[in-house]
Amino acid sequence: MDSTRLAGRAAADAPVSAAPRRPAPARARRTARARSPQWTAWAFLAPVVAYLLLFYAYPLYRNLDLSVRDYTVRSFVSGDAPFIGLDNYREVFADKTFLPALWHTAVFTGASLLFQFSIGLALAVFFSRHFRLSVLLRALFLVPWLLPLIVSASTWSWMLNTETGVVNHLLGLVGIGPVGWLTSPDWSLAAVTLANIWIGIPFNLVVLYSGLQAIPQSLHEAAALDGANAWQRFWKISFPLLRPVSAVTLLLGLIYTLKVLDIIWIMTRGGPVDSSTTLATWSYRLGFGSMLPSFGPGAAVGNLLVVTALVFGLLYIRAERRKVLA
């Protein structure tokens, strides 16, 4: 690696040193550089390329390799697990956890996105009418997003505790009986979704707020002169003009939500009886959640998750392309 780089430099220097009698150094260096702007550009990219190969491509390859071999704890260490093709995937598809996990992932992601986005948008519109303290309060809204997930998750576990949690206490004041948020299979998915919505609102608020700021005020003024009320101005002006920003926000939200693991794992470990298991927590449990890890199926579940995220990402990019071309 180093020797090729030196060779490359020597080759680039050669014509310079061969240039007769005009050794004005600044000029010579400039011609050498002009000959290899691509070389320079890629030299600056070399660290990130090496990084991507070593720390992205290689782990991904190892993960793919895990998913097509029959690993046990022993063969994991010795590294001679037999190749079994797609058996791990077949096993995963046939597992009775698969369909519920897929369904929970869809519900968790769909509900999170819907509420994060609509609440975030409502707040963004609200905060874009400047009033006293609006800047400070908007900043405070960022807190849930920036807290370590384990902090938020353990706080919510404590608040949603069936007997002593403050949420059940407040519900009790209005006559709603104790809800087994984290202990009842009927509620666990709702509980983790609630926590995730809370965490996701700030991001939606910040991005949509700055999207709203980018819409020219004159459009609103013109519409107001034409007699449009605030409601009409929002639906006829802000909302359509916000579409590109909304699309990115939803896409990023989707990608982040598909990945969510910490919150669910810390609050419920996917339980009780798998009632809040998503693909991400299932994969984690298979690989690391027990004394007897099944890395092969765990990696297979994880790869299904990557494919899902990539499909949505590509759909988005295609939609963007079409819009640019149109």
Q: For residues 128-167, which are near another protein according to CB under 8 A? A: 129, 131-134, 137, 139-144, 146-152, 154-159, 163-164, 166
For another protein, the binding residues in 65-84 under the rule CB under 8 A are 65-66, 76-77, 79
The binder of another protein chosen from 162, 171, 248, 271 (CB under 8 A): 248
- The DSSP annotation for 167-231 comes to HHHHHHHTTPPPP-TTTSTTTHHHHHHHHHHHHHHHHHHHHHHHHHHTS-HHHHHHHHHTT--HH
CA torsion 124-128-130-136 (nearest 10°) is 40
Alpha carbon distance 230, 209 (integer Å): 17
Alpha carbon distance 157, 295 (integer Å): 29
Residue with tokens 């709203």: 212
Q: Is 63 near another protein (CB under 8 A)?
A: yes
- Which window, 14-22, 102-110, 230-238, 259-267, contacts another protein (CB under 8 A)? 259-267
Query: Between residues 27 and 90, which has the closer beta carbon with respect to another protein?
Result: 27
- Which window, 108-116, 181-189, 199-207, 226-234, contacts another protein (CB under 8 A)? 199-207
- Helix residue ranges, H only, the chain: 2-18, 25-35, 37-52, 58-67, 73-78, 87-94, 98-128, 134-140, 143-146, 149-159, 166-173, 188-213, 217-225, 230-233, 239-241, 243-259, 262-267, 279-288, 295-325
Q: Is 62 near another protein (CB under 8 A)?
A: yes
Q: Is 200 near another protein (CB under 8 A)?
A: no
Closest approach of Cβ 281 to another protein, in Å? Answer: 9
The binder of another protein chosen from 14, 60, 99, 224 (CB under 8 A): 60
The binder of another protein chosen from 14, 52, 176, 315 (CB under 8 A): 52
Residue 83, C-beta contacts closer than 8 angstroms, at least 6 positions apart: 68, 69
Closest approach of Cβ 211 to another protein, in Å? Answer: 5
Closest approach of Cβ 110 to another protein, in Å? Answer: 18
The binder of another protein chosen from 124, 189, 264, 305 (CB under 8 A): 305
Closest approach of Cβ 165 to another protein, in Å? Answer: 8
Q: Is 302 near another protein (CB under 8 A)?
A: yes
Q: Is 2 near another protein (CB under 8 A)?
A: no
For another protein, the binding residues in 16-35 under the rule CB under 8 A are 26, 29-30, 33
- Which window, 110-118, 181-189, 218-226, 244-252, contacts another protein (CB under 8 A)? 244-252
CA atoms within 13 Å, Cβ hemisphere of 224: 7
Phi-psi domain of 79 (left: phi exceeds 0; alpha: psi -120 through 50; beta: other): left
- Which window, 86-94, 185-193, 208-216, 229-237, contacts another protein (CB under 8 A)? 208-216
Q: Is 262 near another protein (CB under 8 A)?
A: yes
The binder of another protein chosen from 101, 121, 190, 258 (CB under 8 A): 258
The binder of another protein chosen from 95, 102, 255, 272 (CB under 8 A): 255
Scored b (16 or more CB within 10 A) or e, 45-61 reads eeeeeeeeeeeeeeeee
Q: Is 47 near another protein (CB under 8 A)?
A: yes
Alpha carbon distance 294, 109 (integer Å): 26
For another protein, the binding residues in 273-292 under the rule CB under 8 A are 280, 283-284, 287-288
Q: Is 319 near another protein (CB under 8 A)?
A: no
Burial of 163 (0-12, 13-18, 19+ CB in 10 A): exposed
